[in-house]
Amino acid sequence: MKIDARQRWIVLVALLMAALTAVAWVRDADKKSGTEIVEPPARPRPAPAARGADPATPDRVHLEKLRGREPDPNANDAFATRSWRKPAPKAVAKVPVAAAALPAASSPPVAPPPPGPPPLPFTYMGRLLTEEANAVFLTQGERNLVVHEGEIIESTYRVDKVSETRLTFTHLPSGVQQHLPIGEPQ
């Protein structure tokens, strides 16, 4: 079924008239609802004025009654320590009376012992035995190393001896020998 242009215009005008009639009908229904405002709603009464306040101006804020806080000296310091915890009480060093009465003996300060070498950073992974040389496979972190006797590793460790039960390293900065077990002989 085809509708020509004239019939389309007639349908559109009819729909427009129906919409305008509906709007007018709703608007007129609101005007004739029969409810009328007889008396405006009562305003709430203001609360009684505070003591010492001027009763003539109850809505006024009394700025003189407001007090400011004392400024914090660390408020503008971005690197000051802040914590929710209370600060710990400061400890007072107690000196025994008998020890305080005696003069201190003059002894030379004792030098701390020299630091030892760090623990070996290597893990044993395996060994390759050939007629020419023994190669030992180690890991250092995520690096894999193949070392031979007499080799220097990163200018820090020297492989001194490869035996069937252990590797002997020398920590070059301190000169201390360290051992890494590699298993029992079979």
Q: Provide the pLDDT for residue 114.
A: 74
CA distance 41 to 37: 9
CA distance 150 to 140: 18
The answer to whether the CB of 139 falls within 8 A of the CB of 153 is no
| Token duo for residue 101 | 């009465």
Q: Provide the pLDDT for residue 81.
A: 74
The answer to whether the CB of 160 falls within 8 A of the CB of 170 is yes
CB atoms under 10 Å from CB of 153, counted, come to 16
CA distance 158 to 143: 17
Element housing 141 (H / E):
none
Q: Provide the pLDDT for residue 26.
A: 85
Place of tokens 């300060």: 109
**CA 8 distance to own-chain centroid:** 69
Q: Provide the pLDDT for residue 144.
A: 93
Q: Provide the pLDDT for residue 14.
A: 96
Q: Provide the pLDDT for residue 183.
A: 74
| Token duo for residue 66 | 């407001």
Q: Provide the pLDDT for residue 163.
A: 87
Query: Cα dist. 151→93, 132, 179 in Å?
Result: 55, 15, 15
The answer to whether the CB of 171 falls within 8 A of the CB of 117 is yes
- Tens digit of pLDDT per residue, the chain (186 long)? 678 899 999 999 999 999 999 998 888 776 665 666 667 667 776 665 555 555 555 677 777 777 776 766 767 777 777 777 777 777 766 656 555 555 555 677 888 877 778 889 999 999 988 888 789 999 998 999 999 999 999 989 999 998 888 899 999 988 899 999 987 654
Neighbouring residues of 144: CB distance < 8 A, sequence distance ≥ 6: 125, 137, 138
Element housing 125 (H / E):
strand 123-129
